[in-house]
Amino acid sequence: MHSNSCCVLFLVCIYIVFNVIHAQPVPGPTKILLSCGNQKGGNDADGRKWEPDSKYLVNADKSVESKAETQDSSLPSDVPYMTARIFNAETSYKFSVNGSSRIFLRLHFYPSPYPNLNISNSYFSVKAGGVTLLNNFSAATTALALSQAYIIKEYTLAPSDLNDLSLTFKPSDKYSSSFAFVNGIEVIETPEMFDDNTGMVGFAGGDSSVTVEATKASMETMYRLNVGGQFIPPTNDSAGLMRSWYDDTAYIFGASSGVTNKANTTIRVGGLAVILAPLDVYSTARTMGPDPNINKNYNLTWVFEVDANFTYLVRFHFCDYLYQKVNQRVFEIFINNQTASDTLDVIALAEGANQPMSKDFAVHVNGKQDNNEIWVALHPNVGVKPEFYDAMMNGLEIFKLGDGKANLAGPNPELSDLMRKQQEHNNKKFAEGKSYTSAIIGGAAGGAAAFGIAAAIIFVSQNRKRRHPGNHSMSSWLPLHGHSQTSSTTISGRSHGSTAISSDAASNCRYFSLAEIKQATKNFDESNVIGVGGFGKVYKGVIDGDTKVAIKRSNPSSEQGVNEFQTEIEMLSQLRHRHLVSLIGFCEEGNEMALIYDYMGKGTLREHLYNKNKVTLSWKQRLEICIGAAKGLHYLHTGAKYTIIHRDVKTTNILVDDKWVAKVSDFGLSKTGPNMNQGHVSTVVKGSFGYLDPEYFRRQQLTEKSDVYSFGVVLFEVLCARPALNPSLPKEQVSLADHAMRCQRNGTLEEIIDPHLKGKVKPECLKKFAETAEKCLSDHGTDRPSMGDVLWNIECMLQLESDSSGSQHSRVPSGSNEGSVQNMDHISLMAMHRNTLSLGSEHDVTEQSEDNPDDIFSQIVSQKGR
Ligand SMILES: *[C@@H]1O[C@H](CO)[C@@H](O)[C@H](O)[C@H]1NC(C)=O
Ligand SMILES: *[C@@H]1O[C@H](CO)[C@@H](O)[C@H](O)[C@H]1NC(C)=O
């Protein structure tokens, strides 16, 4: 039944169970966090305490403790990922639990190299109680497919009547050298939170004709979304259940994504709703939008990839805080083209406004018909004549239900050819006794995302196909969250072609044949190599007789991969700016992929800062280069159609051409936010050590302020002429960001600035520069200036310096022959400033009022006047 009574009854049951559990003084609900293979245990980055696992092992002699050989930068914390327990034979843990409780079980896997073990050989099964959770599972393959460094699998186990929960790891016997491993285990008791009469979608006669006894089902969490809201980390979950709630934008189908909104009334979260979801979930929502005619003509739709031939429980979380009355907003819910509910009226069901509620449906996903997908669509019910034609959702969870044989295990994701090559490459390295990086794109890609539901990277082409309903050739998977944002967001909302590179991009840049590239680089002659990156080697070359170019050639077993290659083409071909490195074209032939750029004669900013063999840059040159780079970044953030976040701002990505014009390069990690109307994008953490925004790292939320942080590090690097990370220095000085900030606070910054600059920088200019850099490094993104403000400040500094140095140069000193162009830039910059002021997100506005660039400017102007 879709009736209130059913829902209320179910909540009451929860309430009772919850209270019963809480009424028992001893023992409290079990909550165990194990850091496996770790003898001491420890705290994670969120301050949660993880204990050693050995005392829970039944047969400890069949396993060994091990330490990961490499630490991926995307790991949220050392504990529990950097240690593992390795099982060479079937081994069990035993936990004492309350047999009448439901249990959340989370398994953390970090498939990195471990000493003397080839992680690609690890295939194993995991059982909990009588339920098979994983079978022939390869964490390495799954991580590779997800492009994540680590995987979290979450299960909720039905009450078992047993007071012992056994958790068994068994290496697969298909391969002789196979082993099992695990890095972290969470066992958390919860009150029952499911219903015995969950209606099955797609059976005539409505929801009550076929039901699922969800209370008896063990489940795997596939998706958990804070719809219309932001990522909620485990430490902010309700009732101590430590669930993660992800942003839903990545799953929205098509260009019509509705609008997001936030409650400004008080949500009444009663005793029971507390368990179901945190307040944050209920106080944000996605609705269809203000226009009834538009709403009538589209479905607000989300698409999820799942394993075929399982039944799924789809749980909707609702709370209407915008309307007050019944029949103001009534809508239909479709799941896989079938009506799940035709008259959902949240206020009627919840018996009031501002009242949270949830509604569950079950759906069987048939491998043949449903294309391994769950489609959830909302549409206003026009028939019942509601006051507004609209629909809404606050949260969504999708759980896989165990099949008849108590099995939850699905197949490993299928790898693309490129990924398979990556895996072969790793195997080869292992056979040669060399360490290899874990199979992660970019080496630093990461897994904020996830219950590692089987999910694979989506190449742009596949993603396009996926977006066509009814295409049955799709074999890849959607990662749990923030799916391949590096590629997919660049194309969302555009027409979809079928080749890898969009026609937009293709028409904006030139296609080169492999033969042309070979000729340009003298068959990739080593003497032409000018750099090496995660992507492969960079060659200098000559095309069209005399045009110098830089050619970035992808290594077929590249760790950066096709994804970033395509992102870069898509991004760069749209972007033309004096301070961005221009993409001239690309080559894609067989296994070869290459990108062709303008040649930047003077190389990277970094090499001019502390390469002993080069002439040191003057202070003004440094300011000019910073200004150029800031302009490039400011353009990315505000000047293009979408906000573009570079994600990897550092001195090696700021290049200088023959005329000393600085240009920002390397958009392989860039990300667009569709208008960024939520102010951030949840994402896997990518970027470079030493430059990485700690807030982004902590919360996996990317905003343009993450680039501002990295740029702050660049500013200090320019001032101090030392690398962002220098491990050879004493510990407290290793990180430039930390060291410079400490010196700045203690007033000792002058001691660490580049000796070449001593006495050559005006004190007020130095002060301004250090203050600007310091602001960029603020802990919270909202406290950091915008790129436009940073640019403004540095321009003021340059002006300050130039004014003192006589009148040989009007504004721009040595090297740069920008002349009037520069002046024009200056005017347009002011115009852009006004734009930022009016268009900026909320925090931009408040920040501007505190730190008005015009004020800063007038301060400097008046200083001059004195
Ligand atoms: C919304 O989805 C349902 C179920 O798939 C479909 O029947 C209906 O035509 C869709 N409506 C619109 C306006 O696309
Ligand atoms: C799902 O079941 C159908 C028929 O029952 C079978 O042909 C198909 O291979 C199954 N798919 C998967 C992924 O197991």
- Name the strands in the sheet holding 180-182, side by side, starting at the edge strand that comes first in the sequence: 63-67, 83-87, 180-182
The superfamily in CATH containing domain 219-401 is: Galactose-binding domain-like (2.60.120.260)
Q: Residues 197, 370: contact at Cβ < 8 Å? A: no
Dihedral of CA 831/836/838/839: which sign? Answer: positive
Task: Using the Cα atoms of residue 203, residue 204, residue 210 and residue 214 in order, give the sign of their dihedral.
Answer: positive
Q: By alpha-carbon position, which residue is closest to atom 4 of ligand 1?
A: 337
Beta carbons within 8 Å of 352's beta carbon, 6+ residues apart: none
Q: Domain 480-598 maps to which CATH number in 3.40.50.2300, 3.30.200.20, 3.30.360.10, 3.10.20.90?
A: 3.30.200.20
CA 299–ligand 1 middle distance (angstroms): 6
Closest atom of ligand 2 relative to the 368 alpha carbon:
3
**Can you read off the two tokens belonging to residue 540?**
């200098």
Tell me the one-letter amino acid at 33: L
Distance 310 CA to ligand 2 centre (A): 10
Q: Cβ < 6 Å from ligand 2: which residues?
A: 308-309, 367
**Ordered DSSP codes for 218-268:** -EEEEEEEETTS--B-GGGSGGG----BEESGGGB-SS---EEEE--S---
Cα angle, residue 609 at apex, residues 604 and 612 outer, rounded to 5°: 105
pLDDT along the chain (866 residues), means of 10: 45 44 54 95 92 92 90 84 95 92 95 90 94 95 79 92 92 89 96 87 62 89 93 89 88 80 86 84 93 91 90 96 94 94 93 92 85 92 94 97 86 72 72 52 30 28 28 23 23 26 56 87 88 75 86 68 67 76 81 85 88 83 95 83 79 90 75 43 56 75 86 96 87 90 92 91 93 94 92 89 53 33 30 26 28 30 28
- Is 699 within 8 Å of 246 (Cβ atoms)? no
CATH entry 2.60.120.430 includes domain 31-193+414-462 = yes
Burial of 670 (0-12, 13-18, 19+ CB in 10 A): buried
Ramachandran class of 129: left when φ > 0, alpha when ψ lies in -120 to 50, beta otherwise = left
648 is catalytic: yes
Distance CA 212, CA 313 (A): 9
Partners of 286 in the β-ladder: 260, 393
Which among 342, 376, 379 is the best mutation to test ligand 1's pocket, defined by most ligand atoms within 8 Å of the CB?
A: 379
Amino acid at 92: S
Ordered DSSP codes for 470-536 = T---------SSSTTHHHHHHHTTS---SSSS-HHHHHHSEE--HHHHHHHTTTT-GGGEEEEETTE
How long is the chain? 866
Half-sphere exposure of 80 (CA within 13 A, CB side): 30
Chain CA centroid to CA 6, Å:
38
| Strand 180-182 to 49-52 pairing | unpaired
Task: Take atom 1 of ligand 1 and give the residue whose Cα is closest.
Answer: 299
Tokens matching residue 205:
């006669």
Q: Extract the runs of DSSP E, i.e. beta strands, from 803-864.
A: none
Q: Do domains 31-193+414-462 and 219-401 have the same CATH topology?
A: yes
DSSP symbol at 617: P
Nearest CA to ligand 1 atom 10: 299
Ligand 1 center to residue 215 CA distance, Å?
32
Residue 133: helix, strand or coil by DSSP? Answer: strand
**Domain 603-808 CATH superfamily:** Transferase(Phosphotransferase) domain 1 (1.10.510.10)
Question: 339 in ligand 1 pocket by Cβ < 6 Å?
Answer: no
Nearest atom (ligand 1) to Cα of 296: 13
Please choose from 297, 299, 331 the residue to mutate so as to test ligand 1's pocket, defined by most ligand atoms within 8 A of CB.
Answer: 299
Query: What is the C-alpha to C-alpha distance for residues 40 and 781, in angstroms, rounded to an integer?
Result: 35
Catalytic pick among 248, 360, 390, 648: 648
Cα-to-centroid distance, 398 and ligand 1 (Å): 21
135 is written with which tokens?
Answer: 């079978």
Q: Whose CA is nearest to atom 3 of ligand 1?
A: 337
Three-state DSSP at 488 gives: helix
Other C-beta atoms within 10 Å of 186: how many?
Answer: 22
Cα–Cα nearest to 600, from 583, 623, 616: 583
- Sheet of 300-305, strands arranged across: 300-305, 373-380, 331-335, 338-344
Helix and strand tally (H, E) in the chain?
A: 23, 39
Residue 296 near ligand 1, beta carbon < 6 Å: no
**Annotated domain spans of the chain:** 31-193+414-462, 219-401, 480-598, 603-808
Q: What is the pTM of this model?
A: 0.57
Return the structure tokens found at 675.
């208008």
Distance 367 CA to ligand 2 centre (A): 5
Q: Using CA atoms, how far apart are residues 793 and 853, in angstroms rounded to an integer? A: 7
Q: Which ligand is nearest to the CA of 380?
A: 1
CA pair distance 189, 96, nearest whole angstrom: 11
CA distances from 475 to 457, 459, 495 (A): 11, 11, 21
Please tell me if the CB atom of residue 379 comes closer than 6 angstroms to any atom of ligand 1.
yes
3-state secondary structure of 673: strand
What atom in ligand 1 is closest to the CA of residue 297?
A: 13
Among the bound ligands, the one closest to the CA of 370? 2
Please name the residue whose Cα sits nearest to atom 9 of ligand 2.
367
Residue 691, pLDDT score = 85
Does ligand 1 come within 6 angstroms of the Cβ of 591? Answer: no
